[in-house]
Amino acid sequence: MKRKTIVLQLVVAVLLVSAGCSEAAPSQGTSRYPAAQREAFLEGCASESPMATCECMLDQLEQTVPLEDLLTLEAAGSEAVFKDDRVIAAVMACVN
């Protein structure tokens, strides 16, 4: 459980940094975040977790947290991100 908590804290930090990278909407018809945001998330996450875990979390986040919601969470601060059920589920789905 401690590892999951640490990874969740890392994801919150990475999300807060990467959310500010671009406010451009994802391409129409896709749920993928803008390239700059994806790269910032993966770079920050991979410094602490295996790349496969980071890619999994990013995929889960893109499927469940629209960019607009992510930006709203980011504006509310780390506590809001940390408490968001979608963020928690994305992390838990990818961390053993």
Task: For the chain, 96 residues long, give each residue's pLDDT as a single digit of tens.
Answer: 555 555 565 666 666 556 555 445 544 445 789 998 899 889 888 888 899 999 999 999 999 999 889 889 888 888 888 889 999 898 889 886
In a domain, 21, yes or no: no
In a domain, 28, yes or no: no
Could you give the CA distance from residue 8 to residue 45 in angstroms, rounded to a whole number?
11
In a domain, 67, yes or no: yes
What single-letter DSSP state applies at residue 84? -
CA distances to 8, 53, 67, 90 from 1, in Å: 11, 16, 28, 15
For residue 30, the model assigns a pLDDT of 57
Number of structural domains the chain divides into: 1
Domain with 50, as residue range(s), is: 2-13+34-94
Of the candidates 76, 59, 68, the one whose C-alpha atom is nearest the C-alpha of residue 22 is: 68
Beta strands in 1-96 (DSSP E): none
